[in-house]
Structure 1
Amino acid sequence: MPSSAQPEAAMEPNLLEHGETTNCCTVLLQEVEIYEALRQHPHPNIARYHGCYVGENGGFRGIYLQRYSATLKQRKPAVSEKEKRRLVRGIRDCVAHLHSLGLVHNDLNPSNVMVEGDVAVIIDFDSCRREGAAMGVKGPTPGWGEFTGYATLESDVRNLDQMERYLLG
């Protein structure tokens, strides 16, 4: 899918920039599997997935996602208390949706939540796994979770509480 066909989308990441290591490809293919599963069970607070980019040689090059204007971390200073509460509700609703599908995000933090208008949109599903699955090389952002080796609902719940404290004090 050429980028000109989806101007509102962005390819992330470009595997050419990562040297196409086996580890990188494995992580991105796992992320694609999650996005494909979420495509069957959409939610307004999950990043819109447009598909994959395959290079001329048939190799996987990246993921096309909706382009969003700013992260929660960037927008926090300009967001009112009322908006912050609405954003927290959206994040909690999204995580409840993921958990209802047996998925754990595993890396909830202000840089992995985009804000578009007054809607929180969770991105970065490369750490997302089925509940109980081994995490492999991926895990939470330092300061935003504890690496346990396995995907647990409790880790998302702890991160939700931390996110709420971050936003609301």
Structure 2
Amino acid sequence: MFPPCPANLTRAPQVYIKILDFALYSPGDKDSIPQLLLNEAEIYEILLQYPHPNMSQSLGCIVGGDGRLEGLSLLKYKSTLFERAHDISSFDLDQCKQCIAALKSALEHLHSLGLAHNDLSAFNIMFTDNGEPVLLDFDTSHPAGTVLDKGGQVSGWQGIPRALYKESSTECDLEALEYLDMWLKNNFEAMNESVSNDEL
């Protein structure tokens, strides 16, 4: 039914449409979910003006006929850091170090804009087709000092958080990056040990 696409035609980027997360819905707090989406849209608007190669890109807002924000059109990435870290064939120790350095650069850029991410995890980092790590999921990103309704956990994605910040802060991001660096190294060593044992 569809014709083959000639090589000379410009291909549109793969996109991901981020919409409201109704799993977070609470009857007593009906405004928090729309506010998360609106906040993320506003952060992406800032990042459109001040981009960084290791931050995800927004292509703009999806607006309904009634003028309401329905979603965000974002570039689509293929794999998370969590997935890559569990595939020894695609992620070595040098790549781990490069990944942490790139994320540090992205966070420093975000901090220079007066913002903090507040939710750094192996699930909020994905990779471009060229293997570059990209920080995403900015719904918990706020100016430093803002009281947080969501986020602020260091290592919460691993179970019990190692630290909990009640306000948006660069300290939260830096502590989370330090934890992520340690987690990557430990995971890499465990994967190598497992491969070595399998070869015996």
Q: TM-score range by the shorter chain?
A: 0.7 to 0.9
Q: Give the counterpart of 2:136 among 113, 118, 123.
A: 123
Partner residue of 1:11? 17
Question: For 1:18 and 1:144, how far apart are their aligned partners in 2?
Answer: 19
1:93 aligns with 2:105: yes
Q: How does 1:130-145 map to 2 (within 5 A)?
A: 130-135=143-148, 137-140=149-152, 142=156, 143=160
Q: For 1:24 and 1:102, how far apart are their aligned partners in 2?
A: 24
* Residue 147 (structure 1) aligned with residue 164 (structure 2): yes
Contact 1:81 1:168 in 2 (8 A): yes
Aligned to 1:103: 115
**Structure 1: where are the runs of 5+ without partners?**
none
Q: Number of residues paired by the alignment?
A: 163
Partner in structure 1 of residue 54 of structure 2 = 45
Which string of whole-angstrom CA distances, capped at 9 and with x for unpartnered residues, describes residues 48-88 of structure 1? 11111011222211111100000000111231111111111
Q: Aligned AA for 1:113?
A: I
1:134 deviation in Å?
1.4
CA distance in 1, matches of 2:76, 2:101: 22
CA distance in 2, matches of 1:14, 1:27: 8
Coordinate RMSD, CA, aligned: 2.1
Q: Deviations 1:93-151 (Å, cap 9, x if unpaired)? A: 1011111111100000000000223211001000101011111x211452456332211
Unaligned runs of 5+ in 2: 1-10, 187-200
Residue 15 of structure 1: CA displacement?
Answer: 6.4
TM-score by length of 1: 0.87
Structure 1 124/47 Cα, relative in aligned 2: closer, same or farther at 3 Å? same
**Residue 153 of structure 1: how far off its partner (Å):** 1.1
On the 8 A contact 2:20/2:33 being kept in 1, the answer is no
**Corresponding residue SS for 1:70:** coil
The partner residue of 2:182 within 155, 165, 169 is: 165
Structural mapping, 1:55-70, within 5 Å: 55-70=64-79
1: CA distance, partners of 2:164 / 2:68:
31
Q: AA paired with 1:108?
A: L
Larger Rg, first or second structure (1 or 2): 2
TM-score (norm 2): 0.75
